[in-house]
Each structure stands twice: as C-alpha cells, then as structure tokens.
C-alpha cells in the first residue's frame, strides 16, 4: 500500500500510529486481527517485532557508537527470535549478504557508510526480526538519485522473498504507484482517494489527485511539484471548513454542498473517493465484486496463516 500526500499532511503521523509509536486520540489499529490499542506493554513489545519502520533519515535508526554488526545483532538478542547466539550470528551474515553489503561492512560504524549502505544495514537489522509489516517512511528521499532506484528495487525484492506487507510513504506519486499495488492519497490528514495504483494514477477522480497527477505529467521534474503546490496554496482564499471537505479552499470544483465533509465512497473495483462532485450515477460495479477481487489479494496471507496454523497443530499434537 502506498501513501502519498504533500509534506505536513500527516503521513508519518499515520505510519507511526500504525505501529503505536504514537497514541491516536481515536480509532483502532489491527494487526492480524489483534487490536494494538488493547495490548499491554509486554504484549505490545512482542508484537512490535512483527512491525518495523524505516525512517527517512537512515542515520537516526542506527546507534552511531555501535558497529553495524552490533546493530544487527541487538534486536535479535532483545527479542530472542533465535535459539542460540550461533544462529543469530549466522542470520546476521545471511542478511548482510541479502541486502547487498559484505562482511567487511559489519565492522564499520554508521558514519563510515554512505546513505544507501546505511539504509541497507537498517533493512538487515529490521529483517532479523522476521516482520510481517513494514512502514517505509520516505526511505529513499534523502539518498542520491542514482542510489534511490537500487534501494527501491531491493525493497521490492525483499517483499517478494518474504511476503511482507509495506506501507510505502512518499510525496512522490510516481514512485509510490510504481512500488505499490494500491495507493492512498492523503490531504490534510484525510484519505481522499484510494484504489489500485494504476487506476489512481491513470484515472484519478478526486480533484486533489488530479492536481497531483497533472503536476507530475506536465512538469515531471524534481522540485517543480513542490513549487506548484506552494503557488497553489497562495491562491487559496477561502478559509478551510473544519467540518467540511479538507480540500475546499483549493478546489476548483467546490460548491456550497462541500461544506459538509464527504465520505470515502466506493466507485469501482476497490477504488474509493471522498468527493461530493463524484455523483452516484458514476458509481459502477458492486461492492461484492470488489470483495471478490480483494479476496484474491488476500490469498498469500491466507496460505501463510494456514501453514502456521497447521504447524502449530502438529506441534500441539
Ligand atoms: N490528524 C492530525 N491531526 C492533527 N495534527 C496532525 C495530524 N496529522 C499530523 N498532524 C501534525 O502535522 C504535522 C506534520 O505531520 P507529519 O505526519 O510529519 O506529516 P508528513 O509526514 O506528511 O510530512 C505534525 O506536527 C503532526 O503532529
Ligand atoms: S467535496 Fe467539493 S471541495 Fe471537496 S474535493 Fe470534492 S468538489 Fe472539491
Ligand atoms: Mg513525514
């Protein structure tokens, strides 16, 4: 799942809340049907090993006084995911190779590595805990353009290899659509559109998403995206309606009815939009069709769940 929105709209806040690194004022977060808000500290810590986060600033994720080897070993030792020190060491060597570093990097300190190498080491540290869900919060935005694609490809390969769910956060719509099966667009803390990435990118329906796609396709160059949004901000003269549509002050299609907050509504095949201007007659496809399509998406998860269940059953026998 990709999450796009301009700086300050609340993407990182949402990502952190999903891991309960921040306490939400309302709402619930479930991981594999477990309500994270209901967990005590001990249970939360155990569950946390399944959920990991990659931050925008890779250097902040590693202790500058620890060698890479120690940083990779540390979470395994705390969470006791492996039976012996030998297994932990073996895993550390395996992972460092998997993320494209070599043994020699294990003996270095973070400041002796490049940004891309640090992000790889962070990935090795995270993977040692066998997570099923990773929040990747703008993981490549601080890296050189030439390194960005390598790290994104690595993230994709790792996802395929371990079947991990990602929430991939970025302000770059193109990168998110390329990385994600589904994409959500956030504006001032609200999800205004969500759907299959190709649909959201090729056939955006929310006025804000349309604006984003247009900015990318017309300008298509770094920074111009930011410039365009800043200029656009200045044009907004109508004050925001706290209770109405969050995009009201900038929306070219706004009308009186938009003072009421629009809900996310299903259009077709898992595509949802929060906008009053999308009229009901434009809503096609049934909800049942959407459920069936999404059931197919859940198949890998169900298969894994079944494997674990059977393993457990055999153990208990
Ligand atoms: N739903 C929300 N309600 C109130 N404040 C929010 C909400 N989401 C984010 N913020 C505030 O907005 C600021 C920027 O949010 P952040 O999550 O860092 O945005 P982004 O990652 O999209 O740049 C933070 O100070 C955060 O506390
Ligand atoms: S609800 Fe109204 S203000 Fe909001 S995006 Fe749709 S048309 Fe624009
Ligand atoms: Mg952020």
Name which of 235, 211, 236, 215 is nearest 224 in CA terms.
Answer: 215
CA distance 137 to 245: 26
Strands (DSSP E) contained in the chain are 2-4, 30-31, 34-35, 51-54, 133-137, 165-170, 182-187, 190-196, 265-268, 271-273
Distances (CA, A) of 22 to 27, 56, 166: 12, 17, 19
- Total domain count, the chain: 1
Does the residue 151 lie in any domain? yes
In terms of residue numbers, what domain contains 18? 1-180
Does the residue 71 lie in any domain? yes
Residue nearest to atom 8 of ligand 1 (CA): 10
Q: Which ligand lies nearest the alpha carbon of 245?
A: 2
CATH number of the domain enclosing 153 = 3.40.50.300
Half-sphere exposure of 62 (CA within 13 A, CB side): 31
Q: What is the 8-class DSSP label of residue 191? A: E
Per-residue pLDDT, 287 = 56
Specify the ligand 2 atom closest to the Cα of 192: 5
CA of 286 to the centre of ligand 2 (A): 24
Pairing type for strands 2-4 and 165-170 reads parallel
- Please indicate whether residue 8, judged by its CB atom, sits closer than 6 Å to ligand 1: yes
Per-residue pLDDT, 305 = 80
Residue to substitute in 211, 262, 267 for testing ligand 2 pocket (most ligand atoms within 8 angstroms of CB): 262
Specify the ligand 1 atom closest to the Cα of 16: 17
Does the residue 199 lie in any domain? no
- The string of pLDDT tens digits covering residues 208-258 is 999 999 887 765 544 444 444 444 443 433 345 467 899 998 999 998 889
Structural element, H or E, at residue 261: none
Does the residue 233 lie in any domain? no
CA distance 106 to 97: 10
CA distance 155 to 136: 9
With left for phi above 0 and alpha for psi between -120 and 50, is residue 188 left, alpha or beta? left
Residue nearest to atom 6 of ligand 2 (CA): 275
Half-sphere exposure of 211 (CA within 13 A, CB side): 25
CA distance 32 to 34: 6
50 φ/ψ angles, rounded to the nearest 5 degrees = -80, -15
Instruction: List CB contacts of 199: < 8 A, sequence separation 6 or more.
Output: 269, 271
Listed as ranges, residues in the chain with pLDDT below 50 are 221-239, 241, 281-283
- Please indicate whether residue 22, judged by its CB atom, sits closer than 6 Å to ligand 1: no
Does the residue 174 lie in any domain? yes
For the question of whether the overall pTM of this predicted structure is more than 0.75, the answer is: yes
CA distance 27 to 43: 20
Q: Which ligand lies nearest the alpha carbon of 247?
A: 2
Name which of 201, 170, 199 is nearest 186 in CA terms.
Answer: 170
Residue to substitute in 185, 247, 261 for testing ligand 2 pocket (most ligand atoms within 8 angstroms of CB): 247
Does the residue 137 lie in any domain? yes
User: Given the structure tokens 């993320």, which residue do they identify?
Assistant: 99
Does the residue 111 lie in any domain? yes
- The string of pLDDT tens digits covering residues 95-123 is 999 999 999 999 999 999 999 999 999 99
Does the residue 29 lie in any domain? yes
Name which of 246, 245, 271, 298 is nearest 184 in CA terms.
Answer: 271
């Amino acid at each position: 799942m990709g999450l796009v929105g301009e700086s300050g709209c609340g993407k990182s806040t949402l990502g952190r809340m999903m891991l309960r690194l921040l306490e939400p004022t309302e709402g619930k977060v479930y991981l594999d049907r477990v309500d994270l808000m209901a967990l005590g500290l001990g249970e939360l810590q155990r569950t946390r090993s399944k959920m990991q986060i990659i931050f925008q600033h890779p250097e902040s994720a590693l202790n500058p006084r620890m060698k890479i080897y120690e940083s990779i070993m540390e979470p395994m030792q705390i969470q006791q995911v492996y039976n012996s020190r030998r297994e932990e060491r073996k895993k550390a060597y395996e992972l460092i190779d998997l993320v494209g570093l070599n043994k020699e990097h294990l003996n270095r300190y973070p400041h002796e590595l490049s940004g891309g190498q640090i992000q790889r080491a962070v990935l090795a540290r995270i993977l040692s805990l066998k997570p099923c869900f990773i929040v990747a919060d703008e993981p490549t935005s601080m890296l050189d353009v030439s390194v960005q694609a390598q790290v994104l490809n690595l993230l994709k390969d790792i996802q395929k290899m371990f079947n991990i769910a990602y929430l991939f956060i970025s302000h770059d719509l193109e990168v998110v659509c390329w990385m994600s099966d589904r994409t959500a667009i956030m504006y001032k803390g609200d999800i205004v559109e969500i759907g299959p990435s190709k649909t959201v990118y090729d056939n955006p329906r929310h006025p804000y998403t349309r604006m984003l796609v247009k900015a990318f396709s017309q300008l298509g160059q770094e920074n111009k995206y930011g410039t365009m949004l800043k200029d656009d901000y200045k044009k907004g003269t109508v004050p925001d309606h706290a209770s109405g549509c969050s995009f009201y002050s900038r929306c070219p299609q706004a009308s009186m009815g938009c003072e009421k907050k629009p809900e996310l509504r299903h259009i077709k095949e898992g595509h949802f939009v929060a906008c009053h201007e999308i009229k009901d007659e434009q809503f096609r496809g049934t909800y049942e069709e959407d459920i069936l399509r999404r059931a197919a998406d859940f198949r890998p998860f169900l298969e894994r769940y079944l494997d674990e269940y059977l393993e457990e059953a055999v153990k208990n026998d």
